[in-house]
Amino acid sequence: MSFAFDRALGVMSARRTTWRRPSRTVSAGSALAFFASLLMAFLLAASFGAAGAQEIDQSVFKSRLEGWRAIVDSVEAGLGRDDLSPINLDELRARVDPVRGELEAAIGLFDPRLSDLQKRMQEIGDKPGPDAPPEDPSITQERDQLAARITELDATLKQGRLLKVRADQLADRITSRRRAIFTDTLLASTNSVLDPDLWITAARSIPVELRGIGYLLGDWSAYANIRMRVSGQIALTFGVIAIIIAVVLLRRALRRPLRHFDREPADAPASRLRVVSLAALEAVVGAGAAPLATAASIALLNAFDVLPPRIREISQGLLLAVTIAAVGVALAYAVLAPDRPRRRVLLLAGMNDDIARLLYRHTAAAVWILAAVAFVSTLHRTLVAPLQLTVATNALLALLLVAIAARVLRALGRAEDDEEAPAAANATTAEGNGEEAVVSSALRWIRLPMWILNAGVLGALVAGYVNLASFLASRTLVAVVMAATLYLVIALINAVFIDSLSQGPRAKWAAKTLGVRHGSVELIGVLVAGFLKAVAIIIACIMVVGTWGTSTADLRDFVSRITFGFTIGSSTITLGDVFGALVFLIIGIAVARGIQRWVGAALLPRTALDPGLQNSISTIIGYVGSIAVVAIAMGQLGLNLENIALVAGALSVGIGFGLQSIVSNFVSGLILLAERPIRVGDMILVKGEEGYVRRISVRATEIETFDRAMVLIPNSDLITGMVKNFTHANTTGRVIVPVNVTYDSDPEEVRDILIGCACDHPQVLRSPPPRVFLMKFGDASLQFELRCVVANVDYALTVKSDLHFAVFDRLKAAKIGMPYTPWSIYRGQPIRGIPDLGDEAGDVST
C-alpha cells in the first residue's frame, strides 16, 4: 500500500522533466533489475563452468568485459544529466545492476582459478640460478606457460575488479540522486489547502483529464480493433468473466472451514491454534482473490496484445489499487472480525463488538480511499495531468485520512467513557475482562500520538507542504495495516510453535519423532518462534518505512537536511543525528531489555541450568546489550570512542572520590555474577539480616526476609564482609534441640527417646545419623542436646518445633521429669509502681 504515495511523487517529478518513457513504471525497474542480475549471474556462471570443464578461455571474459564497460560508460554518461526523474534513475539502475551481478559472478569464478595457477607456480619454484644444475626443459616450459597465463588472467581480473568498483559507485550515485529527488519532492512547497486557487485550478483541470480519458479509451478501441476482431474481443470478455467466476468459486471453496466454524454453537470450545489459523486463512483468501483475478485478466489481455502501452500502465495501477484494497480490508476483517466475535484472535477476543465494528469500518474506508488515490495517481501520470490536480489529489487524500482518524479517535474516547462504570464494577470477574483491559489500555495509549500526528499533517497542509502531509497520512495507514498483519503473524507463530509444542498430543508427537525430551521440544519451539517473530518485525518495519523508492536512509537524509548542525571538535552533529541516535538508543535499550526478559522468562527456564545461573546469564545479556546500544548510538553521532575513553580517564579522578561507593558496588556486582558465591534462591545471613536472595543487580542484592520484607544489601558488603550462606553447597541444615531432665532420670533412656524422635521425623536425614550429647551437669538438671541434619534448611524451624512436641510427649509418657526454676513472691515493703496486694498476697510458687 505504500506504493501509492511513491507513485504520487513520481507524477510530480515527471512533470518537471522531459526525458521520460511512459511505458515504464517506477516499481518495475529495480525489481526486474534485481531478478535479472541474479538470472544473468547464474547463466554466466553456468556458461563459464561448462567452458572451464575443458580449458580456461580468457577471451570470453575479455569480450564480456568490453560489453560491460560499454554499458557502464553509457550509464555514467546518462547519470551526468541534470533532468533525471526517478523513472529515469530506475532505468539506469536496471542497466547497471545486471552488470554488477555478472561481474561479481565472473570474478568469483576466475579468482579460485588464479589461486590454483599461483599455487602450481609456487610448487614449480623459481628459475634456477646460473650456478645451479640445469633443470628439465619441460619444467621450464611449464613455468613459462604458467607465468603467461597468470599474467593474462591477473590483468583481466584487475580490469574486472576495476569495472566492478565503477559499477558499484554508479549504483551508489543513483541511490543518492534518487534520495535527493525524494527529499526535494517531499519538501517541495506548493499551494496551501486554504488557497482557493489550488482547488479552482484543480477543478478546471478535471474536464481536461476526462477528455484525455475519453481519447485514451478511443485509442484503446482502435488498437484492439486492429489487433483482433470484434468476435475475438467478445471472447476475451467472456474469458475475463470466466476468470472472475473461477476465482470466486475458488475463494468460496477455500472459505469452507470458516463457514463450518461459524455454524458451531457460540459457546463451543475452540483452541487458540484453530482460531488463529482460521483468521490467517481469512486474511490470505480475502487478500489474494481480487488481485489474482485482476492479474490473471491483465495477463490474458496482454497475451493477445490488446492493451496499448498507456493502457498497460493504467492496468498496472489498477492492479496496485485492487491489491491495496483487498489486502487492507482482508487483514482488518481477519484481525477484528466485526461480525464474528468467536473468530477474534487472542487478546482482541476481549474487545467490545462496537469498537471492533468501528475500527473495521473506518480502516476499510481509509484503505479504499488510498486505493482510489493510487489508481487516480496512475491516471495522472499516464495522462500527464497538470501539477495542481496532482497536488489537490494528494491534499484530498491527506484530508480524508485525517478526518477518518479524528472520527475514530473521538469515537474511542466516547466508548471509553461509556465503559468506565461497567468496567470498574466487573474488574475482578473473568479473564475476558483482563484481556479487554489490555486492549483498552493499548487503544488509550495510541490516541495521543495519533492526535499529534493529525495535527502535524494539518499543519503541513496549511503551510503548503502537501507532499509531506500526504506521505505522513498514507504511511500512518500503512503502519496500521502492517501492525494488524504483524499481530496476526505473531499470534500464528505463538500458536504453532509455543502453544502446540508446550503440551498436548502435538508436543508428545514432536518429542517422539525427534527423539528428545519434552523440555527440549519446548526449547526448540521458543527459539524458532523468537527467530520468526524477529524476522516478521524486521519485514514489517521495512514495509512501513519504505519501498523500492524510499528507505530508512531516505528518511534519515530527509531529517538531516531539514535540521542544522553543530560542530564538536572535528565532528559535525546535526539535530537529525541527535534525534536519530536518541530514537535508536530508546528502541535499542527496549529491544535489549526485551531480549533479556525473553531469555530469562522463556528460554532459560526450559534448560537444565539452575535458577541462579539463569539469572546471571540474563543479567549479563542485558548489560552487554545496553552497552552495545550505547556504543552504536555514540558512533551514529560521529563521536570517536577513543576520545570518549580519554575523557573517561580524565574523569576517573572525580569518580574515585565522588562515586567510589557506586563503582565499588558495580564491580562487586560483576564479581557476584561471575564467581557466584551467592545465587538467587540462597538463604544467607549478612549484617544480622537473614532471608532468601531474590535478585542480584549491579548495585545491590535484594533479600526477602522471613517476615516478607525486602532488604537491599550493597554488593560491596557481600564481597568484603562476612556472609553466612546456608544453601551454597547444598540445601541441608543442622537442627539443635536442647533438653534438660532431672538427675533421677536414666541417661540411656533419655538418649534413646531423643534419637527415636529424630529418626521418626521424615525430614531428618539418616546419614549423617542423629546424635545425642550430654553437654553439662547443671545445677538442677542433666543438659542434653539432640543434633540432627534436615534435608532442606527451609524446614529447619518446622522440624525443630515438631521435635519439641515429640520430645515433650515421650518424656511425659516415660515419666521423666523436666526441672524448672521455682519462684517465690513474699509480702514485704511495697515496690514503687506496684500496688500493695494486702491480705490477698501470700507465698506463691510457679
Q: Give 41-60 as a 3 state SS string.
A: HHHHHHHHHHHHCCCCCHHH
> What would the grid cell of residue 309 be?
502501452
Cβ atoms within 10 Å of 636's Cβ, excluding its own: 17
> Residue 268: is its pLDDT beyond 80?
no
**Which pLDDT score is estimated for 574?**
64
pLDDT band at residue 14 using 50, 70 and 90 as cut-offs: very low
User: Rounded to an integer, what distance in angstroms lies between the CA atom of residue 335 and that of residue 325?
Assistant: 16
**Mean pLDDT value of segment 633-656:** 64
> Residue 511: is its pLDDT beyond 80?
no
**Mean pLDDT value of segment 736-742:** 92
> Residue 365: is its pLDDT beyond 90?
yes
Starting at the earlier edge strand, list the strands of the sheet with 782-790: 733-741, 782-790, 771-777
Core vs surface per residue 412-433: b (16+ CB within 10 A) or e:
beebeeeeeeeeeeeeeeeeee
**Mean pLDDT value of segment 239-254:** 93
**Mean pLDDT value of segment 340-351:** 68
Q: Which residue has the cell 573517561?
A: 648
According to DSSP, the β-strands at 733-741 and 824-825 are unpaired
**Mean pLDDT value of segment 379-401:** 88
**Which pLDDT score is estimated for 613?**
67
> Residue 364: is its pLDDT beyond 70?
yes
User: Rounded to an integer, what distance in angstroms lies between the CA atom of residue 621 and that of residue 599?
Assistant: 9
**Which pLDDT score is estimated for 419?**
57
**% of the chain residues with pLDDT over 70:** 79
User: Rounded to an integer, what distance in angstroms lies between the CA atom of residue 148 and that of residue 154?
Assistant: 10
Helix axes 575-598, 611-636, angle to 10 degrees: 170
> Residue 17: is its pLDDT beyond 70?
no
Instruction: Pick the most confident of 488-492, 588-592, 736-740.
Output: 736-740
Phi and psi at residue 677, to the nearest 5°:
-70, -25
Stretch among 107-121, 532-546, 631-645 having the lowest mean pLDDT: 631-645
Peptide bond connecting 768 to the previous residue in cis, omega within 30 degrees of 0: yes
- Please tell me whether residue 429 adopts helix, strand or coil conformation: coil
> Residue 244: is its pLDDT beyond 90?
yes
pLDDT in tens, 127-180: 877 777 877 888 888 888 888 888 888 888 899 899 989 988 888 888 888 878
C-beta of residue 665 within 8 angstroms of C-beta of residue 698? yes
pLDDT band at residue 803 using 50, 70 and 90 as cut-offs: very high
**Which pLDDT score is estimated for 129?**
76
**Which pLDDT score is estimated for 386?**
84
- Please tell me whether residue 517 adopts helix, strand or coil conformation: coil
Q: Which amino acid type is present at position 384? A: V
> Residue 437: is its pLDDT beyond 60?
no
**Which pLDDT score is estimated for 18?**
34
**Mean pLDDT value of segment 111-139:** 83
Arithmetic mean of pLDDT over the chain: 78
Residues forming beta bridges with residue 738, ordered by sequence position: 785
> Residue 785: is its pLDDT beyond 90?
yes
**% of the chain residues with pLDDT over 90:** 18
**Which pLDDT score is estimated for 39?**
44
**Mean pLDDT value of segment 649-671:** 68
pLDDT band at residue 841 using 50, 70 and 90 as cut-offs: very low
**Mean pLDDT value of segment 229-254:** 91
DSSP 729: S
Instruction: Pick the most confident of 394-403, 446-455, 541-550, 614-623.
Output: 394-403
Stretch among 79-93, 359-373, 562-576 having the lowest mean pLDDT: 562-576
pLDDT in tens, 28-68: 334 434 444 444 444 444 444 443 433 346 677 778 888 88
**Which pLDDT score is estimated for 82?**
83
pLDDT band at residue 353 using 50, 70 and 90 as cut-offs: confident
Instruction: Pick the most confident of 37-41, 496-500, 525-529.
Output: 525-529
* pTM (two decimals): 0.60
**Which pLDDT score is estimated for 643?**
59
Stretch among 46-50, 88-92, 228-232, 760-764 having the lowest mean pLDDT: 46-50
* Burial class of residue 455 (count of CB atoms within 10 Å of its CB; 0-12, 13-18, 19+): exposed
> What would the grid cell of residue 16 be?
518537471
pLDDT band at residue 376 using 50, 70 and 90 as cut-offs: very high
Stretch among 100-104, 262-266, 584-588, 710-714 having the lowest mean pLDDT: 262-266
Cβ atoms within 10 Å of 832's Cβ, excluding its own: 5
User: Rounded to an integer, what distance in angstroms lies between the CA atom of residue 536 and that of residue 542?
Assistant: 10
> Residue 699: is its pLDDT beyond 80?
no
pLDDT band at residue 347 using 50, 70 and 90 as cut-offs: low
What CA–CA distances, in Å, run from 291 to 28, 286, 321, 375?
A: 17, 10, 9, 14
